[in-house]
Amino acid sequence: MEKKGFRRAVNIVTILCTAAMISFVIYGLKSGIFTDRAMMEELVSRGGIWGPVTFMIIQMVQVVVPVIPGGITCAVGVVVFGPWYGLLYNYIGIVAGSCINFYLARRYGQCLVKFFVKEETYNKYITWLEKGKKFDKFFAAAIFFPCAPDDVLCMIAGLTKMSWKKFSAIILLGKPASIAAYSMALVYAGGFLSGLLG
């Protein structure tokens, strides 16, 4: 009975959190916060002590609900908080979102993954499930590089027999380099383009 009650509570919390994230995304898209870098920077910078928390929640949400351009949030983190804190907050938010993706896929299976992932993308990567431990190596390499579809791969990983311990180790060790490379590249590219246009 205790296990059933616990599972029911987990399901309720998961549903409420998912609903809250979807509502937050709808609000962000309608208000323009998630599509306008300047608006997001203003929102986060006005947050005071809650700015980092707000930013990390936004970063986590964009990983789980893939409708917010990840490039915008990574660049905002570095621009608003500086390179070191920006990297840290990006890292925390993205790692949290990646773990949620893995959990949701493991808990609810292919139906949920197909709901979040385009069929074409799903079919492209689902074949890796048949390759056993080769997927683990592919996953670790993909997480390390900045251009891989990490959000999708974290969900696909949730459909495999990969342990939480191995998944966590890959995410925790592989994410910093890719986030740093991606964030700084976007910031410098934006500065370069601003200089040309200015």
**CA gap 75, 49 in Å, rounded:** 20
Residue 192 has pLDDT above 50, yes or no: no
Host domain of residue 102: 2-197
Looking at residue 39, its pLDDT comes to 72
Q: Give me the chain's average pLDDT, please.
A: 75
What is the number of domains present in the chain? 1
Q: What is the pLDDT of residues 131-184, one digit of tens each?
A: 667 788 888 888 887 667 788 888 888 988 889 999 999 999 888 877 877 666
pLDDT surpasses 60 at 128: yes
Phi, psi of 49, rounded to the nearest 5 degrees: -65, -25
Measured distance CA(124)–CA(40) in Å, rounded? 33
Give the whole-angstrom CA distance, residue 150 versus residue 156.
Answer: 10
Work out the pLDDT band at 34, boundaries 50, 70, 90.
low
The length of the chain is 198
Residue 197: band (very low, low, confident or very high) from pLDDT cuts 50, 70, 90:
very low
**Mean per-residue pLDDT, 25-43:** 67
Model pTM above 0.85: no
* pLDDT reported for residue 67: 62
Residue 71 · residue 59 · CB < 8 Å? no
Q: What is the predicted pLDDT for the residue at 102?
A: 93
Say whether pLDDT at 190 is over 60. no
> What contacts 22, CB < 8 A, 6 or more positions away?
65
From the list 101, 33, 88, 24, the residue with the least C-alpha distance to 57 is: 24
